[in-house]
Amino acid sequence: AQTVTQSQPEMSVQEAETVTLSCTYDTSESNYYLFWYKQPPSRQMILVIRQEAYKQQNATENRFSVNFQKAAKSFSLKISDSQLGDTAMYFCAFTNTDKLIFGTGTRLQVFP
């Protein structure tokens, strides 16, 4: 069975700094998709970034980028120039079908 592990329950970063959130997953599949979702205090789940396993190039969306290491089954999220609005829970998710498998989340606090 596929699993997703986020080993950092909480992290903090100062505004304008860079922070990296870790995610590892376990699967025997070769083709799949990985996502990072952000859940701010409003509780809205927001899709931040997606990565297709067959693409070697790391995905980037503005200040958000990923480091996808397929052999190591690692999918970390880097947030550059952190902003107060980045304060949220961040969930890593895996799928190779319709169903998303979520990690337990990392709570990120951005300090001024």
| Residues binding other proteins (CB under 8 A) | 33, 35, 37, 42-47, 50, 91, 95, 97-100, 102, 104-105
Taking the complex as a whole, the smallest distance from the CB of residue 40 to other proteins amounts, in Å, to 11
CB atoms closer than 10 angstroms to residue 58: 15
Least Å distance, CB 101 to other proteins, is 9
CB 57 within 8 Å of CB 66:
no
Least Å distance, CB 52 to other proteins, is 8
Is 100:45 a contact under the CB 8 Å cutoff?
Answer: no
